[in-house]
Amino acid sequence: MNRNYFHLHLVSDSTGETLIAVSRAVAAQYQGTVSIEHVYPLVRNAEQLGRVINEIQSAPGIVLYTLVDQELSDELQASCAEFGAVTLSVLEPIVELFHSYLGPAQSPRPGAQHMLNSEYFRRIEALNYTMAHDDGQAVDDFEEADVVLLGVSRTSKTPTSIYLANRGIKTANYPLVPGAPIPPALFSLQRPLVVGLFASPERIVQIRENRLLSLNASDNTSYVDRQMVSDEVNQSKRLFHERKWPVIDVTRRSIEETAAAIMDLHRSHQLKFIAD
């Protein structure tokens, strides 16, 4: 049946992040169809589940869930079957695969992936560092970074840095500004992976024009002059080539795709750094 929208119910005994990520990845394949998300996090007892079931019944659709408690899982499936909502346990196929290979889980726990462990605190440390070293701040501390991103304005340095920090990678970034000298400290970095980001001049001009429009600022400036922007991009690419820094063209890449490429480079850089 063709639909231009549908109700998507995401039921989790944790934060619901897993369900949101998975469902949006699939929903993105259906252009022209809008998913109306209903997110129910921290569902851990029968009373909470009862309220969720009532809401699902008022707007049936697709129900995705991650519930460790088998009784709650069974109740959700049975209730949804009664009023025609389709259900799927997103984790069950993966749990069964782990079970077949590793045996039963020792202690199933809702939200176990969000425990306050060393990985969690590593991510917090990375976020704090990244925010303190955004847009060229505290250049003298860049040696402590895992990754340093360079690029002209509007090459997604900051959002990419924050995404990497959420993965536990301490990331600093520095903007390449026409006519502004580059701090010598950037040329003597040893530990961090330095990556150059660039985009097509056309794409950068488009983003900059939108930026000026949002600020109600005049677009009569070299900031959006196509020739000037082209010169900026070419100068940055020459710098990256001279320093033999890896480069990534972000013109048609999402933040996630750019970050994935950087993480792959970072893994190789770590191995080389350890070997040296």
- pTM for the full model? 0.70
Q: Could you tell me which residue, 37 or 119, shows the higher pLDDT?
A: 37
Sheet holding 34-40, edge to edge: 34-40, 5-12, 62-66, 86-89
> If you average pLDDT over every residue of the chain, what do you get?
91
188 labelled as ligand-binding? no
Domains of the chain: 5-114 (3.40.50), 118-275 (3.40.50)
Pick the most confident of 20-29, 121-130, 237-246.
237-246
153 labelled as ligand-binding? yes
Q: Helix, strand, or coil here: 27?
A: helix
Asked which of 51-65, 99-113, 217-231 is least confident by mean pLDDT, the reply is: 99-113
pLDDT tier for residue 214 given thresholds of 50, 70 and 90: confident
Q: For residue 171, with 0-12 CB atoms within 10 Å meaning exposed, 13-18 middle and 19 or more buried, which class applies?
A: buried
Asked which of 65-74, 105-114, 155-164 is least confident by mean pLDDT, the reply is: 105-114
154 labelled as ligand-binding? yes
130 labelled as ligand-binding? no
d(CA 158, CA 151) in angstroms, rounded, equals: 10
152 labelled as ligand-binding? yes
